[in-house]
Chains A and B, each alone.
Chain A
Amino acid sequence: MTETLPTSIDATEALLTGGGYVADRALSTALFLSLRMGRPLFLEGEAGVGKTEIAKVLSATLGLPLVRLQCYEGLDTAAAVYEWNYAAQMIEIRLAEAEGIRDRAQLGTDIFSERFLIRRPILQALQPADTGRAILLIDELDRTDEPFEAYLLEVLSDFQVTVPEIGTIRAKEPPIVIITSNRTREIHDALKRRCLYHWVDYPDAARELEILHAKVPHAPEALTAEIVAFVQALREEDLFKLPGVAETIDWATALVELDRLSLDPETINDTLGVVLKYQDDIEKVRGGEARRILDKVKADLAARG
């Protein structure tokens, strides 16, 4: 192993913090165990709570290349694993013809060799360009269909891929695998069984404050505290889509751009679209409700000193 994996849960936590990711103990533990045991880490949670970010941070802090497989409906092996470079193959056939080579068997072996193989994310992750290992991020797995999920079972348990024309390609160093899902459908138990599971929840106020400090460091302290308290209060409301951490960060960035030092009802009404992404939700909160929450937030913060 070229890179050094964290040897304790504390070290894992420190590693993530070093990359600007504020993780709670539960996530650090799950991540540590998954790294240690070479098992994929399955992260489930609402959109915008920072699932994908973990893979990015790991890639940056461990210095490993990140290979991302963004899942979508209709994803098949040609797009996820490998494909042949047909244009190059055809030129090769033409050239062989021009040179008068008639050895068909040889031609067959030639054009179905690794030279004409286009590596898609999964193959790239099994055989990274430089020696060592890669981080494979399988993002939003719930968007694929069941057949692809079933295909992944082989890849994830043996870290190998079979190309009929070449044979089985095995990873020298199994990649570190992070799988994310927004739960638009349930992932099959067979796949979950091969992974360590962690539900990424909305952060509590203290952790969200830390995250904002790390992500939007130049925001005024009072504003940051108000934003966190306001978003936390919003998550108590009965909304269709609760704001995630990504929204909180966006909002803080937006308010800094607007040179605001603290929250006021007009600013909230004008920028609510940064935090809430459904018209119903915005209508529900805009105006009186926003004012009520803001008053409560300010009172709470004042009481705390």
Chain B
Amino acid sequence: MRERGDPGALAENIMHFARVLRAAGVPIGPATVVDAVDAMRFGAVRSREDFYWALHAFFVRKREHHVLFDEAFRLFWRNPQVLERMLDTMLPTIEMPQDARQKDSARRRVAEAFLHGLDRKYDDLPPPKVELDATYAASGEEVLKTRDFEQMSAEELERAKEAIARLRLPLHEVRTRRTRAARTGPAVDLRASLRAAMRTGGDVLALKKRRQVVRHPPLVVLCDISGSMSRYARMVLHFLHAITGARDRVHVFTFGTRLTNITRALARRDVDDALAEVAKEVKDWSGGTRIGEALHAFNRDWSRRVLGQGAVVLLITDGLDRDAGRGLEREVERLHMSCRRLVWLNPLLRWDGFEPKALGVRAILPHVDEFRPVHNIESLEALAAALSDPRVAERGRRLAA
């Protein structure tokens, strides 16, 4: 707000502020910016606090974005020019893929159209004196590693691709409360019956039927990517990418020392793109395992959000836990009660005579509905079959979601 009462400058600054937020990762469409500027016309916003919350109402659409907004607001509205220029100096240095650059230019065009008449030349401004501290502090005790998926051997990749091509995930389905018109069914479709009766003037009333719609429940995958699992985890991720593309309502999380939601990353169509994204997001690749803690984080932060619709949960881990199973049983029990069905995939099962000796394994075992090996392509295929098995589908003891 450089010049109070001058809507031009305010509009412009709101637009720049929106760009800062966008750069910080808050998705804001141009229409929202126009709305926000529009709202300022009411003249109701007088104090800085009101201004803050007014912009907040428009720009923040997710709770997670509140922190970003708060930080950006504090920095930006303290001295708008600095940030505006800082943003400009940063833009060319970011290596963007072609399509991203195009998007950016499109956005800029919209912004320029929106600022029509305001002729502004950044070149005229004195060179910016902005120093950015680009060093990231290492995060305490955990050693964070990112692993490049390209390290997968050619043969491995070939096999994985082959397997994925062959894999069909038959969809186990459950009945929903929604109904649709059908040739036969338990309920009468009065609307359709009456429509049909109109044809005869009401003389003959042929009953049309409805039956319940079936659809598959959401699938939630919790995948262990710690050191002991890393060989299998890569293959499993290929598999997960395939099923993410094949059906909707799949949520995928990885865990080692921390829990990461990689659903969005896996949603990319191309498997290599998707895995590259995953590699970027997962910070604890091939580290230690704290299953109990990861499950605790999942139960607390995510279970209500992704298990609410009666999800099937796939837990992929060898059960070897750094915390020796402490607190694990409680969390697995909680997880089990919150979902429709809990399937445990364990690569250690490949050995005949596997005995559940590890404490982690013993803690998980009593609470799973199904226990399966997953160490090669065949076992993945068996898993696909298991997911569609209706036998254990309906279980009485779910917590109310």
Contact = CB atoms under 8 A, between A and B. Distances in A.
Interface of A: 7-9, 25-26, 29-30, 32-34, 36-37, 44, 72-74, 76, 78, 83-84, 86, 89-90, 93-94, 96-97, 102, 104, 107-108, 111, 142-143, 145, 182-186, 189, 192-193, 196-199, 238, 240, 280
B31 to A, nearest CB: 8
B198 A9 contact: no
Contact of A240 (B176, B309, B334): B334
Given A93-B197, A94-B202, A196 B178 contact: no
Given A184-B309, A185-B309, A280-B334, 15 more contacts: A9-B45, A25-B53, A33-B39, A33-B54, A33-B57, A36-B44, A44-B63, A73-B177, A73-B309, A90-B194, A107-B201, A111-B194, A183-B304, A186-B305, A199-B63
A37 B42 CA distance: 10
Interface string B247-259: 0000000000000
A254 B11 CA distance: 52
Contacts of B54: 29, 33
B337 to A, nearest CB: 10
Interface string B55-84: 011101111001000000000000000000
25 contacts: A8-B44, A25-B50, A26-B53, A29-B50, A29-B57, A30-B56, A32-B44, A37-B35, A37-B39, A74-B179, A86-B193, A86-B194, A90-B205, A96-B202, A107-B198, A143-B308, A145-B178, A183-B305, A184-B308, A185-B306, A192-B61, A193-B32, A196-B57, A197-B61, A199-B66
A207 to B, nearest CB: 15
Contacts of A198: 57
A34 B42 CA distance: 12
Contact of B29 (A94, A104, A107, A193): A193
Contacts of B66: 199
Nearest to B306: A185
A45 B61 CA distance: 12
B376 interface: no
A189 B65 CA distance: 14
Contacts of A199: 60, 63, 66
B201 A89 contact: no
A175 to B, nearest CB: 19
Contact of A193 (B42, B61, B304): B61
A107 B202 contact: yes
Contact of A142 (B27, B201, B308): B308
B236 to A, nearest CB: 25
B401 A184 contact: yes
B58 A74 contact: no
Contacts of B57: 29-30, 33-34, 196-198
A9 B197 contact: no
Nearest to A197: B61
